[in-house]
Amino acid sequence: MKSQSAEWCGWLLDRRAFVQTGLCALALLTLPRPLAGGFGPSVQYGFIRPHPAKFFRQLPGQVVRCELCPRRCEVSPGERGECGVRENRQGQYYTLVYGNPCAVHVDPIEKKPFFHVLPGSTSFSIATAGCNLRCKFCQNWEISQARPEETYNFDLPPEAVVAAAHQSGAASIAHTYVEPVIFYEYMLEVGRLAKKAGVLNVCHSAGYVNPEPLAKLAEFLDAACIDLKSFDNRFYQELTDGEVAPVLQTLKLLRQKGIHVEIVNLVIPQYNDAMESVSRMCQWIARELGPLTPLHFSRFYPLHKMAHHYPTPVSTLEQARETALAAGLKYVYIGNCPGHPGENSYCHHCGKLVISRRGYQVGEMHLKGGKCGYCGAVIPGRWHPPRPS
């Protein structure tokens, strides 16, 4: 007999599968909702302007080696790196997506998902074309696997992003939908201006980035939601064309830099749902990042190159959550199942409900200055907007 939450998740899958497969390209490439002040950036097909890239090394013969992500692509003149958005022009490296997002939206912060960052607020969310991974299960593959000349792009330089975020009433700016590392220079400048303006700067990333650029980005980053797709390197190699070690390194560096970190693990049946592997991952998180690190187990639904597969049983997500709690983690969530009690936040000290949720909707909150409203325990997260610097 199905539980009420399981039935709700089944309905959600059918609806989301329709939306994603039938309307995703349209939804991601439309103009954002009207904003105060007549905000309406120009839009055109293809990239708008090249911009000098950071973190590359010049090699003989005008070849450049990109030092931004672990791929370290060696790119000949006239060619691009694996991400498809960084190009060698006569021995100089350029990004083709600076100020050229193809997706601009005002989202609930819970959609990122951040459950410990300004609950109930909205986030001005941007993405460009491109990605440095090749996830076969990507839900935004229409833009992540595209090049910037294949999408409609907004002319939205960093200062316009911050201004639009203010106009929309958003409390944060999120770099999301695709891997934001590939529009690093854009994200970095937006973060610098956001810090001055008193707007949180956050990202949802796969964490596939080298330590030096990550350390620089951390100066202007308030929170990061990182996809730890599996604790098995074979999974990364076969389903993402990447490696797990750089992601673990990213998580540890973010923690060292004092950045608020939340982790998402998309549970895919038969691929990364073995509880022994889940347990090892959770033990590593508790040991290296701390037991109060929020972890989201998200439900997989068929999409992209895995459209033939089947969705994650709710019971598997519940078992993963119990495994994480047994490993010592205190804030463990179940995602893509609106109405499931695994969406709620319970104080790690007294166990009482501090934030209730249903999907992206926040219900009752029992927090006082970032502390449990019952016992006073400090709840990890970003609970207050930053002051302009």
Report yes or no on 220 lying in a domain: yes
User: Could you say which DSSP state residue 378 is in?
Assistant: B
Shared domain for 225 and 328, answered yes or no, is: yes
pLDDT at 385: 86
* Structure token pair of residue 4: 């009420």
Rounded CA separation 143/137 (Å): 13
Residue 382: inside a domain, yes or no?
no
pLDDT at site 9: 39
Instruction: Count how many Cα atoms sit within 13 Å of the Cα of residue 175 in the half-sphere of its side chain.
Output: 37
The total of structural domains in the chain comes to: 2
Answer yes or no: is 313 within a domain: yes
- Place 39 in a pLDDT band, splitting at 50, 70 and 90: low
pLDDT band for 165, please (50, 70, 90 cuts): very high
Q: What is the CATH number of the domain that holds 325?
A: 3.20.20.70
Residue 220 and residue 65: Cα distance in Å, rounded?
Answer: 25
- Does the pLDDT value for residue 20 go beyond 60? no
Q: Which of 58, 74, 95 is the last residue of a domain?
A: 95
* Cβ atoms 140, 28 nearer than 8 A: yes
Q: Domain range for residue 305?
A: 4-40+102-345
Q: How confident is the model at residue 27 (pLDDT cuts 50, 70, 90)?
A: very low
pLDDT at 40: 62
- 319 and 178 housed in the same domain: yes
Mean predicted lDDT score pLDDT of the chain? 90
pLDDT classification of 85: cutoffs 50, 70, 90: very high
More confident residue, 38 or 90: 90
One domain for residues 191 and 157: yes
Q: Is residue 365 part of a domain?
A: no
Residue 329 belongs to a domain = yes
Residue 130 lies in a domain: yes
**Which residue, 184, 218, 214, 182, is CA-closest to 201?**
218
Determine the pLDDT at residue 190.
98
Amino acid 386: pLDDT: 85
Domain membership flag for residue 367: no
Is 370 within a domain? no
φ, ψ for residue 225, nearest 5 deg: -105, 115
Same domain, residue pair 86 and 232: no
Q: What is the pLDDT of residues 134-157, one digit of tens each?
A: 999 999 999 999 999 999 999 999
Whole-prediction pTM: 0.90
Asked if 14 and 61 sit in the same domain, the reply is no
| 297 & 246 share domain | yes
Stretch 240-252: mean pLDDT, rounded? Answer: 98
19 has a pLDDT exceeding 80 = no
User: Residue 32: what pLDDT?
Assistant: 37
For residues 182 and 289, state if they share a domain.
yes
